[in-house]
Amino acid sequence: MTSESQLPGEYFLSGDEACAEGAIAAGCRFFAGYPITPATEIAETMSERLPEEGGTYIQMEDELGSMAAVLGASWGGLKAMTATSGPGFSLMMENIGLGVMLETPCVVVDMQRAGPSTGLPTMTGQGDMMQARWGSHGPYSIIALSPASPQELFDLTIVAFNLSEKYRVPVLVMSEESIGHMYEKVTIPPKEKIEIIPRRKPNIPPKEYLPYVPDEDLVPPMAIAGEGYRFHITGLTHDERGYPVMTAEVQGKLVKRLVDKIEKNSSAIFRVEEDSIEGADIVVCSYGISARVATIAVQKARAIGLRVGMLRLITVWPFPLERIREIAKNVKAFVVPEINYGQISLEVERAAAGKAKTILVPHMGGAVHDPETILEAIKQAVI
């Protein structure tokens, strides 16, 4: 798309292009990044489209600088985003943690590829899912979404920006090379049909403002640099004024709120897609491209008379713990295909708590599963 504004309609876009268009539709006007396969097309698209929309694109010297620039742009009042893949995601982790501590809304897209290290740069993987949750140091909570199509990359990028503004936290879009480089029809709705959550600004005089006094939902309103409010931000443990306080008491109060503002609102955050869960003996639980492949295996299993349900994780973090526990009471097993050697399967197993088996169907990356492999796991689970 090269028009000066997004026109509603149907387009044939790659997932990377759809992601960029979703960001622009959400109001993103700043992108800082560094080229890395398979996320480079997001940066390329943003470099063309943002100037058309009055925004700013910066290619930084590396991923550390990219993430720092995104945080700064957000505090300057812009909706900001970056995109990367495995090695770059690792480099961003320190400043993602800083974004959590500063409560900075922004979006980070990780187009996963096969690792570890350089791995297979142009081939798919899902090996960063636990890194998304635990990659930075210290206790905190995060939000991570998992699209399964270019359309969802458009839609969920908008959702990611909305969640980041609502909860003042970096939000991760965890996609894969398979989806990023896939071309499909993407429908861009009229602007009035797109829900946009604006930044919550303080409604008190500047002299009364304390930057880290939360509202009832545990999220503080956010003043913007240059709007007359005085504030101090730091990655150090800080009080409600934003100034460092080096005590365990303040640490406990602050970090508990950072965690609770996500976990206590998790029922309003997480999204799952369910198919024929009621009455199922086996539930296939998956996400992203693996869920698309698993759908074929589920259809084949049903064709031979097996009672199989499907649970697709759209929000991976926070994890839908209670829903998995509820399902586990009534099924024999969960089958979890993912392109790694077991990550989200461990969360499923923990949530099931021995009420149902968890069967991992691993794939080391470089390609998607053969549906027959998932089908064989379903058959074994029935025994």
Q: What is the pLDDT of residues 263-317, one digit of tens each?
A: 999 999 999 999 999 999 999 999 999 999 999 999 999 999 999 999 999 999 9
Please indicate, yes or no, whether residues 183 and 317 belong to a single structural domain of this protein.
no
pTM of the prediction?
0.96
Is there a single domain that holds both residue 42 and residue 177? yes
Domain that holds residue 371: 273-382
End-of-domain residue from the set 145, 165, 193:
193
158 within 8 A of 343, measured Cβ to Cβ: no
CATH number at residue 57: 3.40.50.970
Within this chain, do residues 187 and 280 fall inside the same structural domain, yes or no?
Answer: no
42 within some domain: yes
- Is residue 202 assigned to a domain? no
- Rounded Cα distance between 76 and 81, Å, is 13
Structure token pair of residue 268: 């309003």
Whether the predicted pLDDT of 3 surpasses 70: no
Instruction: Identify the CATH number of the domain in which residue 305 sits.
Output: 3.40.50.920
Is 141 in the same domain as 43? Answer: yes
Query: Is 257 a domain residue?
Result: no
Same-domain status, 167 and 23: yes
Of the candidates 17, 121, 108, the residue with the CA atom closest to the CA atom of residue 63: 108
- Residues 46-82 have pLDDT tens digits of 999 999 999 999 999 999 999 999 999 999 999 999 9
Q: Is 235 inside a domain boundary? A: no
> 6 pLDDT exceeds 80?
no
What is the predicted pLDDT for the residue at 231?
82
Count of domains observed in the chain: 2
The DSSP bridge pattern shows strands 28-33 and 79-84 to be parallel
The 10s digit of each residue's pLDDT in 224-263 is 988 999 888 999 999 999 999 999 999 999 999 999 999 9
Nearest one of 18, 358, 66 to 188, comparing CA atoms: 18
In the chain, the amino acid numbered 349 is E
Residue that terminates a domain, selected from 193, 215, 234: 193
> Are 173 and 313 members of one domain?
no
One domain for residues 176 and 55:
yes
Looking at residue 280, its amino acid is A
222 domain-assigned: no
Is 226 among the domain residues? no
Which residue, chain included where needed, has tokens 């003042």? 168
H or E stretch covering 336: strand 333-338
H helix or E strand, kind and range, residue 122: strand 120-124
Does 161 share its domain with 41? yes
Calpha distance 70→298 (Å, rounded): 41
Q: Where residue 2 falls among pLDDT bands split at 50, 70, 90? A: very low
Residues 178 and 62 in one domain: yes
Alpha carbons 69 and 63: distance in angstroms, whole number: 10
* 212 lies in some domain: no
54 and 175 co-located in one domain: yes
Are 177 and 302 contained in the same domain? no
Partners of 185 in the β-ladder: 12
Which of 139, 168, 193 is where one domain is finished? 193
Is 53 exposed, middle or buried, given 0-12, 13-18 or 19+ CB atoms closer than 10 A? middle
Q: Say if residue 50 is in the same domain as residue 140.
A: yes
Are residues 199 and 168 in contact, defined by beta-carbon separation less than 8 angstroms? no
Q: How many residues does the chain have?
A: 383
Grouping H, G, I as helix, E, B as strand and the rest as coil, residue 1 is: coil
Q: Would you say residue 292 lies in a domain? A: yes
Q: Which parts of the chain fold into alpha helices (H)? A: 15-25, 40-52, 63-75, 86-102, 129-134, 150-167, 177-180, 248-263, 266-269, 288-303, 321-328, 344-352, 371-382
Instruction: Find out whether 189 and 21 touch, Cβ atoms under 8 Å.
Output: no
Query: pLDDT (tens digit, 9 = 90+) per residue, 151-195?
Result: 999 999 999 999 999 999 999 999 999 999 999 999 999 999 999
